[in-house]
Amino acid sequence: MKKDLKNFTLEELGGYLAVNRYPGYHAQQVLSWVYQKKAEDFSCMSNIPAALRKKLQDDFYLSKLNLIKRLVSRDGTRKYLFELEDKNTIESVLIPHKGRNTVCLSTQVGCKYCCRFCASGAFGFARDLSQAEILNQILGIGKDIKNKINNIVFMGMGEPLDNYDALLRAIRIINAKYAFYIGQRKITISTAGLVEGIKKLAREGLQIELSISLHSAVDAKRDTIIPLNMKYSLNKLLPSVREFAKLTKRKVTFEYILLGGFNTAVRDAQALLELIRGLDCKINLIPFNDVAGAGFLPPAKLEVLFFRDYLLKYNIDVTIRQPRGQDIEAACGQLRMRHLNQ
């Protein structure tokens, strides 16, 4: 049975070539065709010997995603619904801003963790994405926009650190000169708080960004919106975050979705200040993008400004993420949920 070449690393492809008595340097040439020149067939790889092209054709195939739907927002945000080979569907998002193109990638079909404010887990968890399926999202979006992608954020469907091996393999290819060549500091992983994954990531020797999906600094509240908190409470999560920051020398970001009337009061801001005391970090405030059935309302403008100003008063590095793609339901899982409900 043929194998998907995009599931191979440079080293693995080099091993295949060695076994078949071809020079190892062809591995980088082949992968450059795949990721830089966007080749969809081995026959076009003109600097690869004809005999090797035939051997590759016999043993491998080049997968791609099937675009089911693309929605374009008034603000330029693009939401993609892709179909996989097994007919499962995933979402990706393009966010253009001031000459930069950021893509938000999924790592799983569905999600195990069912955070209340997120639609990704509405239909449960199906499976992890392969390395190829992660990378094909970048290729699919790049083919659509025909512009350079500058930033990668793993904030789409699924919990990235729950698909750790495929995630890290994909990141190393995204960063490689022969592939997308996107700098490590332009790659962000967002996690709901898988402590073992954070600790492992801290020791990978990478300079990628870590973003914690926090949303409350009070365990009792966080339990109700992020079920994973009942396993990894804040007194377990924060030491792993501090360890990551210490080992990598990177400033961690805490994402804080502002849910109207739920986590926007003075006591919530005070709890957050206490939680991050002594930690060099950023707070990214995110006004809730309404998800059907979540049971929350977007915050009032005054709630947002009050919460930001309270943190600024204590010299916290805080920003408000401007809502993007609201007219196309760009929040995680919304497009897939609508598709599956049809």
List, for residues 235-285, the tens digit of each pLDDT value: 999 999 999 999 999 999 999 999 999 999 999 999 999 999 999 999 999
Q: What CA–CA distance (Å, rounded) separates 149 from 71? A: 18
Q: Is 332 a catalytic residue?
A: yes
- Span 185-195, average pLDDT: 97
Give the homologous superfamily in CATH for domain 66-341: Aldolase class I (3.20.20.70)
The pLDDT of residue 222 is 97
For the chain, the distance separating the N- and C-terminal CA atoms, rounded to the nearest angstrom, is 35
**Looking at 104, 115, 118, 332, which residue is catalytic?**
332
pLDDT for res 140: 96
pLDDT(341) > 80: no
CB-side exposure of 190: number of CA atoms within 13 Å?
20
Q: State if pTM tops 0.75.
A: yes
DSSP label of 321: P
What is the distance between the alpha carbons of residues 219 and 230, in angstroms, rounded to a whole number?
8
83 is catalytic: no
Residue 339: pLDDT band with limits 50, 70, 90: low
What is the residue extent of each domain of the chain?
A: 3-61, 66-341
Annotated catalytic residue, options 91, 255, 303, 329: 91
Determine which of 47-51, 202-206, 296-300 has the lowest per-residue pLDDT on average: 296-300
Give the residue with greater pLDDT, 16 vs 330.
16
For 90-111, what is each residue's pLDDT tens digit? 999 999 988 899 999 999 999 9
Q: State the pLDDT confidence band at 335, using cuts at 50, 70 and 90.
A: low
Residue 109 near residue 84 (C-beta atoms within 8 A): yes
Question: What pLDDT score does 117 carry?
Answer: 83
315 φ/ψ sector (left φ>0, alpha ψ -120 to 50, else beta): left
Which CATH number is correct for 3-61, 1.10.150.530, 3.30.70.100, 1.10.10.10, 3.40.640.10? Answer: 1.10.150.530
